[in-house]
Chain A
């Protein structure tokens, strides 16, 4: 799967979870950039991303992930 396609699908997940059609995620996007992205919504995001791509993050990954770019890297490594 191309990186571009992953960003596109990820973008849709973000828009659904935060109910905001204006969101555009970039590699450097973090929780600070999206208003509703607090620790409680974070878990919903993680679950939604897992379900979108049919993968599971482990605890270590979730705790060390710094931005959307790192999330995409993990998704790519899982899918290959």
Chain B
């Protein structure tokens, strides 16, 4: 919903949140999550706003809200309601109002050090207690700056200053977050400064209602929080689809000629586009795929991208569509060629009419209202499309992987027989029981895979750790490399052992970048091997249809399973007897454990 993208109209959101919620609830396909909000001040409106932002991301939250300022008691002593609630995520909304002791001029260095540690230890105790009880994701606010400075500018510098104290305390929070999995910081220090600290800290709202920030600032806080949560559940965007003229450079390359484009340090409007190009290019390091969708002659587009002052070059893009087709059709083609859903794209175009068409014809795509060139970066950035929560090394190599895929499809053309082509790739797989170093990637994959996903069950890192530690599961991952490169971990199967000799497959996923490489058969062979080692006699497979996973509707048929039931929604159950002989299905991939 456009109204829930940055920059939003706060007045509209606050006034119409109930109507918005009703509209959003008409969609289906939500993932449901239990979110506990433990507050050190009033949280009601934070919850309401968070709800509509999450619904807009396809996440349907159920909330537990602590009693006013009971965050500490709930966390340390627990309570029955919270225990029963069994949260997937706990959000601790504390602010500088919850800092118990601030330094004064009478305190010496050692006193202040003790104060700092005792504030930090209090929170650490909360986090430890919560993660021991619930083993779930924790999101913790850092602290916003205070709205007055007793020492003036020295407040930042001197150990007696509150600004100095809060800066040091925040650093401790950040260090903890850096070394702790499933723990994230909601950076209200940054959000409050973007909003304007004096306005944020409007004391009317504290004294009247015990809100620790001005109520009209709450949508910004909740949006920021919703971005962390949607990122954890794999709902980040994955690719840019970019226009060229007046988006990546000033002017129209076909009319003005390359030499007259505005880009580079000489003039202000050229500087703006230089920074825009650098900003876009930086996303490659996050694994974001860059593509072009421009109404241009192809040669002109390439010539523009080869402008000596430009940072972006043709080779930075995976797919370049420069033609006169409607942009929504180009986007569909790009989605198909990349094997990605178009709803994972961010379409950047200076032309409002093009944005509107794309918005109308491509469901779920983001089309930021980028306004004037000097606002492009801020508006794209503050939308949080690519919020980083679990960053894996796979992401660094993502663009290369897509490039390799392009090379493979070229090579495929030169073979008449598909099996010969597969053999020529000299594929080598490592398929083995989960290892600690891959757990993060496995969780990431379970949240990102939509198409080759039989049950669409999502696993947070904490969930994956539970599976890893539980002997009642057979859990294998697969890595695949070939002559063009290493794809990393691209497939995961989790089976639950029940009644001694039954294996129920909870999860079977594979990354679409290794489709049609027979990797699914290699995974099956290993699954059967592991199952036989555990004396399993029957394997049960489940297929739950979603709008995205039609690709695997007959997956278990292909694997030789027998369908035993199918309900009205198309949910199917299959079984396979492995007590007799099982013949391996893969003969093109060399597998090691």
Contacts and interface: CB of A to CB of B under 8 A. Distances in A.
Chain A complexes with chain B:
yes
Nearest to A63: B208
A74 to B, nearest CB: 15
Interface in A2-35: 13, 16-19
B52 to A, nearest CB: 13
Nearest to B214: A47
Contacts of A63: 208
A18 B17 CA distance: 10
Interface in B22-75: 22, 42, 44-45
Interface residues of A, number: 16
Interface size range on B against A: 10 to 19
A43 B209 contact: yes
B180 interface: no
B14 A47 contact: yes
Contact of B45 (A13, A16, A44, A62): A44
A48 interface: yes
Contact of A19 (B19, B204, B211, B216): B19
A48 B204 contact: no
Nearest to B44: A40
Contact of A51 (B11, B45, B211): B11
Contacts, number: 40
B208 A13 contact: no
A65 to B, nearest CB: 12
Contacts of B205: 43
A59 interface: yes
Interface string A47-66: 11001000000110011000
B16 interface: yes
Given A40-B45, A43-B215, A59-B207, A48 B18 contact: no
B135 to A, nearest CB: 32
Contact of B204 (A16, A17, A18, A59): A59
B516 interface: no
Interface string B478-509: 00000000000000000000000000000000
B11 A48 contact: yes
Contacts of B204: 58-59
B84 interface: no
A48 B15 contact: yes
Given A59-B204, A59-B208, A43 B45 contact: yes
Contacts of A16: 15-16, 19
Contacts of B45: 40, 43-44
A44 B14 contact: yes
Nearest to B11: A51
B44 A19 contact: no
Contacts of A43: 45, 205, 208-209, 211, 215
B215 A44 contact: yes
A43 B22 CA distance: 21
A42 to B, nearest CB: 8
Contacts of B42: 40
A40 B45 CA distance: 8
**Among A47, A59, A62: residue with most chain B CB under 10 A:** A47
Contacts of A48: 11, 14-15
Nearest to B205: A43
Nearest to A18: B18
A40 B512 CA distance: 47
A58 B203 CA distance: 11
B44 A13 contact: no
Contacts of B15: 13, 16-17, 44, 48, 51
Contacts of A13: 15
A48 B16 CA distance: 10
A39 to B, nearest CB: 8
A37 to B, nearest CB: 13
Contact of B18 (A19, A40, A51, A58): A19
Contacts of A44: 14-15, 45, 215
B18 A47 contact: no
Interface of A: 13, 16-19, 39-40, 43-44, 47-48, 51, 58-59, 62-63
14 contacts: A16-B16, A19-B18, A19-B22, A40-B45, A43-B45, A43-B208, A44-B14, A44-B45, A44-B215, A47-B216, A48-B14, A48-B15, A51-B11, A58-B204
Interface of B: 11, 14-16, 18-19, 22, 42, 44-45, 204-205, 207-209, 211, 215-216
Sorted nearest first, the 6 A-B pairs with minimum C-beta distance are A19-B18, A51-B11, A40-B44, A16-B15, A48-B15, A43-B209
